[in-house]
Structures are given as structure tokens and as C-alpha cells.
């Protein structure tokens, strides 16, 4: 598989992960029982694993196999961990709805930042 295909596959899972997380966040706020269905509990694990595997694969092909690691890759790894933590608070651990809503919005903002970093390959996206 070509490097471009892997990057695009990574982009596809980035989109799928955001779509499903947004839907789950909406269901959480509406207290919708759909949130507890089996596929809704399983699918995010599969999608997020694929997101990470394609990310690691692309990073290996483009950077790590050549002995380089640009700052934006490190930022994305840390950002992904922060996003997962905020997602956990938003959908599981948050004690009140206000906490869950705050964590949900923060997770979406972190995710938007990571998309901008991915597209521009800069830690400070769109800075001239
Ligand atoms: C939630 C986390 C992440 C988001 C939202 C994200 C987002 C993106 C986006 C939108 C692209 C551009 C895709 C395209 O052009 O089709 C991209 C590219 C890329 N991402 Fe991610 N990413 C994430 C995590 C990671 C992680 C953890 C790594 C590294 C381990 C990584 C490595 C890469 C690489 C190497 C590219 C290709 C850059 C290039 O065009 O040369 N990403 N990412």
C-alpha cells in the first residue's frame, strides 16, 4: 500500500472517529438509550485502533524509518492521549451533566486542533 493511501486511510478513520464521538456525545446529552447498544460500545474501539495503527504506520513510513520525528508528531501523540481522557470524562466518568458537557466540548476543540495540525503539519497551524 502506498504512503499516500495510508495517509488517506488515516484521514478516513479521523473522520469516522469524530462522527461517532459527536453522535455519542449528543446521545449522552439527550440521555438516549442508543448509547448503551452493543455496536455503539464496540465500534469506537475498532475505529480508534485503526486510527492509531494508520497513524503509526504513516509516521513510520514518512519519518521514523528515516530517523526523524518532527514536533507535530509528538504533539499529535500527546493530543490523542488528552482527547481520549476528555472523551472518557465526557461519556463515562463525568459525575454531572455540566462536567460531561464541558469535557465533550474540550474534546472536540482538541480534536479540531489535531486535524489542523495533521493538515498543516505544524504545531501552530495556519501561522504565517
Ligand atoms: C485524534 C488524533 C489525530 C487526528 C485528528 C489526526 C488528523 C490528521 C489529519 C486530518 C491528517 C491529514 C490526512 C490527509 O491528508 O488525508 C493527518 C495526517 C497525518 N497524521 Fe494524524 N491525526 C491524529 C493522530 C495522529 C498520531 C497519533 C500520529 C502519529 C503517531 C499521526 C500521524 C500523522 C501523519 C504521519 C500524517 C501524514 C502527514 C503528511 O501528510 O505527511 N496522527 N492526521
How many domains does one find in the chain? 1
44 assigned to some structural domain? yes
Task: Map grid coordinates 507535530 to a residue.
Answer: 72
Residue numbers of the domain that contains 32 = 3-120
Three cell numbers at 54? Answer: 494508520
Residue 124 phi/psi, 5-degree rounding, is -110, 90
Q: Is residue 76 lining ligand 1, measured as CB closer than 6 Å?
A: yes
C-alpha 68 – ligand 1 centre gap (Å): 16
6 lines ligand 1 (CB under 6 A): no
SS3 69: coil
Please give the pLDDT value at position 28. 95
| 86-128: pLDDT as tens digits | 999 999 999 999 999 999 999 999 999 999 999 999 999 988 6
Task: Output the nine-digit C-alpha cell for 113.
Answer: 486542533
pLDDT value at residue 127:
82
Domain annotation covers residue 73: yes
Amino acid at each position: 500500500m502506498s504512503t499516500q493511501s495510508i495517509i488517506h486511510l488515516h484521514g478516513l478513520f479521523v473522520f469516522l472517529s469524530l462522527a461517532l464521538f459527536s453522535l455519542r456525545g449528543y446521545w449522552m446529552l439527550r440521555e438516549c438509550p442508543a448509547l448503551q447498544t452493543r455496536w455503539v460500545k464496540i465500534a469506537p474501539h475498532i475505529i480508534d485502533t485503526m486510527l492509531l495503527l494508520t497513524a503509526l504506520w504513516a509516521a513510520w513510513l514518512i519519518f521514523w524509518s528515516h530517523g526523524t520525528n518532527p514536533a507535530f508528531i509528538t504533539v499529535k501523540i500527546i493530543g490523542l492521549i488528552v482527547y481520549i481522557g476528555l472523551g472518557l470524562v465526557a461519556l463515562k466518568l463525568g459525575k454531572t451533566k455540566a462536567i460531561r458537557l464541558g469535557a465533550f466540548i474540550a474534546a472536540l476543540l482538541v480534536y479540531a486542533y489535531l486535524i489542523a495540525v495533521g493538515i498543516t503539519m505544524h504545531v501552530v497551524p495556519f501561522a504565517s
